[in-house]
Amino acid sequence: MPTYTPPLRDMQFVMHEVLKVSDELKALPPHADVDADTINAVLEEGGKFAAEVAFPINISGDTEGCTLDKTTHEVTTPQGFKEAYAKYVEGGWAALSCHPEYGGQGLPFVVNQCFYEMMNSANQAWTMYPGLSHGAYECLHAHGTEEQKKIYLPKLTSGEWTGTMCLTEPHCGTDLGLLRTKAEPQPDGTYKITGAKIFISAGEHDMTRNIVHLVLARLPDAPAGSKGISLFVVPKFQVNADGSLGERNAIYCGGLEHKMGIHGNATAQIVIDGATGTLVGQPHKGLAAMFVMMNAARLGVGNQSLGLTEVAFQNALAYAKDRIQMRSLSGTKAKDKPADPIIVHPDVRKMLLTAKAYAEGARALQCFCAVLLDKELSHPDEKVRKDSGEMLALLTPIVKAFITDNGFEATVMCQQVFGGHGYIKEWGMEQHVRDARINMIYEGTNTIQSLDLLGRKILGNNGASLKKFGKLVGQLVEEEGVNEKMAEFINPIAYLGDQMTKFTTEIGFKGLQNPDEVGAAAVDYLRVAGHLVFGYFFARMAQVALREIAAGNTDPFYGAKLQTARFYFAKLFPETATLMRTARAGSQVLMDTDLALA
């Protein structure tokens, strides 16, 4: 019963009219020939795959779930998943942004991110199977030996094999310094890995012949804590010298988690019983190597919630236009019907516009970050690469936490638009809510992202990264500050930009006296920063829309963009005032509560 239409027009607007992606790519040697027409053509076909192949098996996959044969330790994915993956590989989608030297198409990361937004809208659980392979690919590309690259990267590029990251253990989640998995060196240079991992997304399945597990473990001489962690590649099947598959490795699925959502994805309990692995990178430097994958995953998780926000909005909007209930408070609107469609009611519009605004703001931020990553990887100027990497590091926790918090709120609101029908499975809305909930938890909970943003990315370098983003805001304010038509979009971000310096300094000073002050303020702080970032992009989008309208363009798309921006600044952006007040309330009302929490 749900439907999905890829938002190609809005993607094109963000990439070509707001961010001028083609101009950015011209400065990058690997992507200098990638123009707007190429990007549009690829995403149009990608949208067809998402809507026609992945989307139809979303609800059925959620209903059926995955099945584990405890005798063989093999997992069967829901009906249609394996066939859809075969079409994905056949279409070359796995190779979209991979390097040509390993069989990839060499397209920029920004194209891959837009494709994956559509895939996440269509079927988040299915998309996680190939999605995790990109992080494994990037990790091995950055830190693997030449032999590891030769063995694994062509297969990950083609999609013949998929990848996972095996971090979490039953007794430790975010605190990886506590992990116990062991790696024993062998005379032939390999390692015997022994331990247990949990919550491993796509950890076992029947869609590919081999799975490339990246496993964190400790060497015998490892120092305690996070400084004693090494990274190993541990394939499901060992690989012979000629690239063919050898014997089954001693790494297998011991159980499947029974989850709230993403039922179509096999979230596996992984048992490692003396499995053969090879070291990735340097001994005891595993976290640095794994963070390549984790940072990519954090951008990917934000993209998951963007996808869910978009598909939930589309279906809630269609329902609100069709469902009739009561009459409008301002007078009958549908005189030929016994009641008015619910879209005439102010609060229904508020819920719909909240989802729309959060989707459009997230899309602009995601595309901006994807371009930053392309520049960090490929720009010939070292300073540009460094600056792009620093800006991306600042924005990554905002992408992960702000977009996923907003995504859950938006899917709940869209479910609410359906009333009682939103609680019923066949409409698809309750699945979006369940699927969206995990995105706030994995790849570092959103509180962890908030601590990372405030403690490490901002206070850790005395606000230098924040000041660089502040310069972007300042440039836009200077450019449009005297334009009366832009005042409603410029004034709020100019004011908040000024407030951020004082706000940050105040929290930093309090944190020097008591570190709990940073912990108490961090979540609120990230949302303030998130609104500043979204506000900046909404102002840029409004800027383009106003210019098009002034030039005589009558496309209603631009009027719609202005209306959404006005709603965002009037109804959502003012949350920042409350957030700054609660952040300043300090830690005492949280920590001096032993009686209340006894």
Q: Which residues are the active-site residues? A: 443
DSSP 164-207: EEE--BTTBSS-GGG---EEEE-TTS-EEEEEEEEEEET-S-SS
Asked whether 288 and 389 are in contact (CB, 8 A), the reply is: no
CA distances for 294 relative to 259, 449, 559, angstroms:
22, 12, 39
Asked whether 38 and 105 are in contact (CB, 8 A), the reply is: no
What is the Cα–Cα distance from 489 to 564, expressed in whole angstroms? 11
What is the Cα–Cα distance from 193 to 398, expressed in whole angstroms? 35
By residue count, the chain amounts to: 598
CA angle, 297 then 302 then 305, to 5°: 125
| Phi, psi for 247 (deg, rounded to 5) | -75, 160
CA distances for 451 relative to 298, 379, 447, 518, 521, angstroms:
15, 30, 6, 8, 9
Largest Cα span, the chain? 84
DSSP 488-530: HHHHHHHHHHHHHHHHHHHHHHHHHH-THHHHHHHHHHHHHHH
What is the Cα–Cα distance from 317 to 333, expressed in whole angstroms? 17
Q: Which two tokens stand for residue 312?
A: 């939930």
Secondary structure (3-state) at 324 = strand
DSSP H or E segment with residue 230: strand 230-235
Which residues are registered as beta bridge partners of 230?
Answer: 217
The radius of gyration of the chain's CA atoms, rounded to the nearest angstrom, is 24
Q: Which two tokens stand for residue 446?
A: 């959103």
**DSSP classification of residue 321:** H
DSSP H or E segment with residue 275: strand 267-280
Provide the Cα torsion 290, 296, 301, 304; round to 10°: -140
Please report the sign of the dihedral spanned by the C-alpha atoms of residue 41, residue 47, residue 52, residue 54.
positive
